Amino acid sequence: MEEHIKAIRSSVIDGIAVTPRYRERQLANLHKALLDSRSQLNKLLVDETLLSEDEATAQFLLTAKAIQTFHISVNPKQCLDEEYRIAQGKDHTTRRVPHGCAYIIPSQHDPLYSTVVPVAAAIAAGNCIVVELQQTVSKLGAFLKKLLLDALSPQTFAVVEQWPFDEEFKGKYCIELNGRETQSAVTTSKQMRTHSNRVAVVVDRSADIKAAARECVKARFGFGGQSAYAPDIVLVNEFSAQSFCTAAAESALQYLSGAANGKLENGKSLASLKRPAGLGAGVQKQLKSSMAETLVSGDRGTVALLKNRDSDLLSGKLGTPLLLIVPISSMDDAINHLGQEAVTLRATYLFCAPPAAKYLSQFISSSVSTINHIPNELLIGPPAPSGHSVSIQPRYTTDMFSIAQPEIIEVSALSHTLSVLVSQDSAVREKRKAEEAVDITLHRVKEAFGPPIGFFEQGLLFGLGCILVGAVTAGVVSVKYGGPAVLAKLRGR
């Protein structure tokens, strides 16, 4: 076993990384190293990814902001007060302890954020950290490796190329975060995985169509068209489909025209990029076979209208800069279409009135749903681990790298009453009194008068109201103008 791995094992067993002061200093060192390397990191992000300079800056700022958030949470005085709650005779119901060692395999999405933020979260939780980074020709990967090794203590941080621990140490001390996406992402107490499920958009007639189109185009083509939360399918009500397509095509021009003549806005040639910016040949072939209508296309992506529900493009995650618009007849049609696969969507963006959003989010299974906007911070960084509540910023939290272990010292009133009941030494009178003290009755909640009025009931009542108003108006008009004529006719007889 290599020396740096032996140091990690010893530190885990000795609990070196648990102390609040140590965590605070490690996070401060990491934050300083990040800020000192800002210009180099931004340049490498622009050179090796499809990000523009502004998008690279945004990723850097969110990464630094995440470290700041973790640093604030590791307040030595507050942590010390919580540690000694039991010594002061108080319960510590929110107590959490680290696993010991966090083994991190960063996601391929946004390498700066995906590498640094989980490391910072694991430090804040009190873990030693081992990061798996393969040797590549990437200058960014090499720079990140050097930055982390220089900033963090070798006692509690190491970089490896493969799993270094035995099964016994793994089972007792390790929590593994694998950022690589898989079809079946089963998360356990010792392993965190990321599923490769789709991201969907639903646009109802009640939405601001132009604003919805702008948000969808930004999410799909922004950040190099490679965001983990870019939409894979956009379901638009058929009555608004035409106006949405027009607005989406207009908004997409600012992203797609920047790659004219094979050049990106930062001057790089497409051939020099590691990842292709446009659609692959397979996707283009599927578009053609599905009879999809291409609305606008460029070197950096395509906006297409697809009416064929049997297309293979609708069966999985796209992973390519294609904004795929599919008309739907109603909200129920959207729910039925997205519910065909027995999986939870990675995210759903709903553009509609709040009552309609409530209905859609209730029946569409999704890890997170946003209403009438797509958070910019969600578009930066890797997908959240499955089985955990989605944290938009920071994407990883200290709870993911720790275990709940509450401490209870206070005796509750109910516990005291039960001890009287089960005690052999308690007198009969005391037991009766204790039994009477346990309130086990249920107080029924009264329902409001009349049935609840929901979204569809409001529509029905509105329709009936219009019919009733029309009938009353017709009756009044008939009596006012038809009544005298009828009376005059009767008198003439």
What's the pLDDT tens digit per position in 172-198? 999 999 988 776 555 566 899 988 899
Categorize the per-residue pLDDT at 387 as very low, low, confident or very high, splitting at 50, 70 and 90: confident
CA 156 to chain centre: 30
Is 151 within 8 Å of 64 (Cβ atoms)?
no
Distance CA 87, CA 426 (A): 31
Structure tokens that stand for 361 in this block: 């989010």
Task: Outline which parts of the chain fall under CATH 3.40.605.10.
Answer: 3-187+396-404
Asked, as a colleague might, if the bond just before 394 is cis with ω within 30 of 0, I would say: yes
pTM: 0.85
Distance CA 193, CA 336 (A): 28
Distance CA 120, CA 382 (A): 15
Distance CA 325, CA 304 (A): 6
112-116, 169-173, 308-312, 334-338: lowest mean pLDDT where?
308-312
Categorize the per-residue pLDDT at 79 as very low, low, confident or very high, splitting at 50, 70 and 90: very high
Is 301 within 8 Å of 75 (Cβ atoms)?
no
Q: What is the pLDDT of residue 273?
A: 41
Q: Collapse the DSSP code of 295 into the 3-class scheme (helix H, G, I; strand E, B; otherwise coil) and give the result.
A: strand
Task: Outline which parts of the chain fall under CATH 3.40.309.10.
Answer: 199-379
Level-2 CATH architecture, domain 199-379: 3-Layer(aba) Sandwich (3.40)
What's the pLDDT tens digit per position in 147-163? 999 999 999 999 999 99
In one-letter notation, the amino acid at residue 436 is: E
What's the pLDDT tens digit per position in 230-284? 999 999 999 999 999 999 999 999 888 754 334 444 444 433 444 444 566 677 8
Distance CA 460, CA 12 (A): 64
**Mean pLDDT, rounded, for 383-392:** 92
Sheet arrangement for strand 199-203: 293-298, 301-305, 322-328, 233-237, 199-203, 347-351, 369-371
Other beta carbons within 10 angstroms of residue 53's beta carbon come to 13
| DSSP state string for 70-86 | HHHH--HHHHHHHHTTT
> Does CATH place domain 3-187+396-404 in 3.40.605.10?
yes
Distance CA 212, CA 218 (A): 10
Which has the higher per-residue pLDDT, 490 or 116? 116
